[in-house]
Amino acid sequence: MLTLALILFPAVAATLLLLVKGETSRTLAFGAALIELALAAYVFVGFVPDAKTQFAFDYPWIGSLGIRFSAGVDGISLLLVLLTGLLTPFIVLSTFNRSYSRPSVFYALMLYMQAALMGVFTARDGFLFYLFFEAALIPIYFLAAMWGGENRIPVTFKFFVYTIFGSLFMLVALVYLYYQTAPINGAPHSSAITDFYNLKLTPAAQGWVFWAFFIAFAIKMPVFPFHTWQPDTYVESPTPATMLLAGIMLKMGVYGLIRFILPIVPLGVEAWGTTAIILSVIGIVYGSIIAIRQRDMKRLIAYSSFSHVGLMAAGVFSQTETGLQGALVQMLAHGINVVGMFFIADVIFSRTNTRQLDQLGGITRTTPKLTVYFMIMLLGSVALPLTNGFVGEFLLLHGVFTYNHYLGLAAGFTIIFGAVYMLRMFQKSMFGTPSARTESFADLTGSESWVLLPLAFMVFWIGIYPVSFLKVTEPAVVNLMKYIGTTAVSLK
Amino acid sequence: MLPIVLLSAFGILLLFLGFLKSRAVLLPATLLFLLVSLAVNFIDWNKTYLYFNGMLLTDNLSMVFTAIVLGSSFMVVALSSSFMEDEAAQPAEYYGILLFSLVGAIMMIGFENLIMLFVGVEILSVAMYVLTGSDKRNLRSNEAALKYFLMGAFATGIMLFGMALLYGATGSFTLAGIRAYAVNPQVGLSLLFYVGLLMLLIGLLFKVSAAPFHFWTPDVYDGAPTLFTAFMSTVVKTAGFAALLRLLSVSFGGVYTFWWTILAIITALTLVAGNITAVYQNSFKRMMAYSSISHAGYLLIGLAALGQQTKQAIVFYSLAYSVATIAAFGVLLLVARQRNAETITSEGNSSESFDAFNGLARQNPLLGFAMTVSMLSLAGIPLTAGFWGKFYMFSTAVERGQIWLLVVAVLMSAVGIYYYFRVIIAMYFREGATAPIRVAPFYQYVLVVATLLTIGLGIAPGLLEGLF
């Protein structure tokens, strides 16, 4: 039942928010997001670390087809539920110094987005998952296209068509899987994800189902070469929308890989997993190299995000316990870091009206607080030990390295390149001589600090004591690994 | 059967009401008549009757189809208040003809005998020819009516020819008789039978504007007054598909292997022709015409993959499509009337172009929202009824193992998103000189109901199942 509340509460709150006019909607949205965070925290604390689905909710939806509205939280969902709950209030808070036209619609869309994301991460039914996967696109599309930058219309349109196009392949695969399941409870078939796990598909079918899912998720993450929508969309979207996109939405893709591809088509992964890892590793290196050359802060962070998500995908496809654990922790960590980075870029933009690195510089002189927070977020992003990025990336790299030494080595460049482009950005924007634009740069205001303080706290918490997160995911991951092992053997 | 009798009587009554001085009574009267017919339609619920010496059947399926047709007509008529403002128009006649045409539609839905099908198709078509040309002073309306009439008459001829051949082969006009012949032929199926079936199919496919029999659609839809375009693209299509479903599932289920490939190819053609051409339109109304062709394609998937699910799929899809289409045309009516810039170019009326929607949502959030929901539904985005419609259709194809058809359909729905979103982009993200549009309360209710229905069916598609 609690899961249902997680999904429905933001949606209901958003609908009510539409009735409110003016700036009060912002405070109300923040309140609603905090309540949702409390719910998510309650789920996190109340979660018993084992492989079972908890807080489950199950209700017949289309009875004659055996499609059920069933949702619940297991170890794999849990961190993402937490991430969604955690980031949304800070994303809302980050807008307290901005004013957007038609604020109630703006914040309502953000809460709708949150509802859909919660739905994606908790759905236990294939079609329910698909529904939320697509539904999440609509609010983010309107957020980006209504409040975005100059070039927003074609850019967001490309984003929308591209991602929907990918998901349609997933729909085909889901319908196919659905028709392979046995009759259950009087319905002709079943669309429960666990029933998909028990299918014995032929290797040929696994091959194409793998690609149908992979294209959908690869576009969402994005993995090379499906990334072309991403940098432009990130740059053109208003920063809160970019945070939602990079912080939470791209995790839908990684989550999908773990939830669907690995357990449903183990033979497909065996046949094509290496290809997927190679694509991911290309993305890691390619994204990093482009990031090094960027002048625009937002675009730089966008490419860094593209590079980081490649590592997560590679870790998942390595099919090792460490790789999967790493991917889960890194999803949480990356969400926190990237939201922090985009927020800092936005703070700088709001004061100087530019995101071009060569027009910035010398900001540190007047801004002790900003410098410290920027540094913390940055160190998290470059995976310095004792920060959150280190835990995730170390586990991921370990996973990829176990899978294949050379690929592991190539993926390891992410840490070196990451340090290069991140420190370069820090140096160009914060150090050096102040330019005309940065001369009277004011330090963080109260609400801005309140966004960064909890995020910085999370950076260290995950970095210093990751066990509190690893232990909840472990049983589910171990179970999944065991599962993949046995299915793959039984199919041969 | 009662709706048929009532609608005929009401139609005549309406013509007499036209003599009254006050026109204000016509619209409420028509709406009332439709509501009464809709209510009595359900009198025979859960019973199956044969009427008129076994020529017309009512069962739950036919009643559901009838309800969709009557419900759509109700909504279309409710949007017709602008008629009253036009002094020269003859609303009584149009409403009368509309009711008569519904008699034809209901006959197409429940026919048990090919003659009944023919009569139904003719009643519906003749009424449509007239309504298409009802904007008498408009050249394009006249052109559309003439085109529709000539092509339609030709198609009806082919259909009649097919029926005659089928009669020659089977010795029967009844669905049961043809089925008996097809299932258990004495000396193999005769060539007459196959040719007859094909010609009959061509006639009906013309009516639902499937490719390659769709060429009349854009011009007719564009030329006809928008209100009747909405009527045509919902009622005629629903009735046409109900007829095809009956025909193929009752009589020709036994020879599925003969016709499914033909129908599957036509389906693929329709999907490609409708969707690809729609991308290149500059007029919203013409786009909707091609969109209606493409939706005929999606509906045909269910027939080409005839099976357990087809009934459910076609009912759901027709309902989802009708509701969304009516809402879209409802908004178009308002926008076009406000623009009123009757400059007609080779690409249609400029007040009906995509540009006419620029900036609409800013001043008219309700209209923008209604239009957005209906476009999302037509594009098949989840949480709208249209998604489940497509879902049901795709499932039927997978059930029959027609994966290639599914792939075509999926690719084409991606194309569909492109042109449906052009309207949304125009409404929300482009600047335009749209003033607030005054919307009559009743008109608003219709749009709100259509929007809620679309979202409601998108969230709980199970509501409709188990009815038939």
**Segment B205-230, tens digit of pLDDT:** 999 999 889 999 999 999 898 899 99
Q: Do A168 and B413 touch (CB under 8 A)?
A: yes
**B363 to chain A, closest Cα gap in Å:** 12
Q: What pLDDT is recorded for position B115?
A: 93
Quick one: what percent of chain A has pLDDT higher than 70? Answer: 99
- A455-475 as b/e, with b when 16 or more CB fall inside 10 Å? bbebbeebbeebeebbebbbb
A455 Cβ contact partners less than 8 Å away, ≥ 6 residues apart: A90, A336, A339, A340, A343, A377
Nearest to B383 among A60, A135, A175 (CB): A135
Instruction: Flag if A131 and B383 touch (Cβ within 8 Å).
Output: yes
Q: Give the dihedral sign, CA B106/B110/B114/B115.
A: negative
A461 touching B (Cβ < 8 Å): no
What band does B88 get if pLDDT is binned at 50, 70 and 90? low
Shortest CA gap B458–chain A (Å) = 10
Contact call for B394 and A175, based on CB within 8 A = yes
A207 touches chain B (CB under 8 A): no
Say whether residue B168 is in contact with chain A using an 8 A CB cutoff: no
Q: What is the mean pLDDT of residues B295-307?
A: 92
How far CA A340 is from CA of A23, A49, A397, B318, in Å, comes to: 24, 29, 24, 48
Q: Which of A131, A153, A168 sits opposite B414 (nearest CB)?
A: A168
Domain borders along chain B are 2-464
Q: What is the C-alpha separation between A148 and A234, in angstroms, rounded?
A: 10
**In which element (H, E) is residue A279 found?**
helix A266-292
Q: Which of residues 435-464 of B touch A (CB under 8 A)?
A: 460-462
Sign, CA torsion A6/A12/A15/A20: negative
The better pLDDT of the pair B118, A59 is held by B118
**pLDDT per residue as tens digits for the range A412-462:** 888 889 899 999 998 888 888 888 787 778 888 888 888 899 999 999 999
* Model confidence at B347: pLDDT above 60: no
Which residues of B are less than 8 Å from A164 in CB distance?
381, 414, 417
Predicted pLDDT at A211: 92
Q: Is residue A465 helix, strand or coil?
A: coil
**Between chains, do B465 and A160 touch, taking CB under 8 Å as contact?**
no
List the single residue in A142, A161, A169 with the smallest CB-CB distance to B418: A161
Structure tokens at A480: 């999944």
Segments making up each domain of chain A, as ranges: 2-491
| pLDDT bucket at B348, cuts 50 / 70 / 90 | low
Distance CA A24, CA A9 (A): 19
Is B56's pLDDT higher than 70?
yes
Q: What mean pLDDT is reported for chain B? A: 88
Which is more confident, B373 or A430? B373
pLDDT score for A139: 92
Q: How many CB pairs under 8 A join A and B?
A: 82
Mean pLDDT of A381-394: 89
Are A73 and A122 a contacting pair, CB within 8 Å? Answer: yes
The SS3 call for residue A54 is strand
Given CB atoms, is A208 within the 8 Å cutoff of chain B? no
Residue B152's pLDDT is: 92
Query: Is B69's pLDDT higher than 90?
Result: yes
Tens digit of pLDDT for each residue in A282-336?
Answer: 999 999 999 998 888 999 999 999 999 999 999 999 888 889 999 999 999 999 9
Q: How many Cβ atoms are within 10 Å of A372's Cβ, its own excluded?
A: 14
Whether A169 shows a pLDDT value over 60: the answer reads yes
The C-alpha atoms of residue B412 and residue A213 are separated, in whole angstroms, by 19
> What was the pLDDT predicted at B467?
67
Q: A35 is written with which tokens? A: 């309540």
Task: Pick the residue from chain B with its C-alpha nearest to A145.
Answer: B429
Residue B135's pLDDT band, with cuts at 50, 70 and 90, is: confident
B414 touches chain A (CB under 8 A): yes
Q: pLDDT class for A359, splitting at 50, 70, 90?
A: confident
Best mutation target among A175, A189, A208 (most B Cβ atoms within 10 Å) is A175
Residue B344 has pLDDT above 60, yes or no: no
| Least Cα separation, residue A116 to chain B (angstroms) | 11
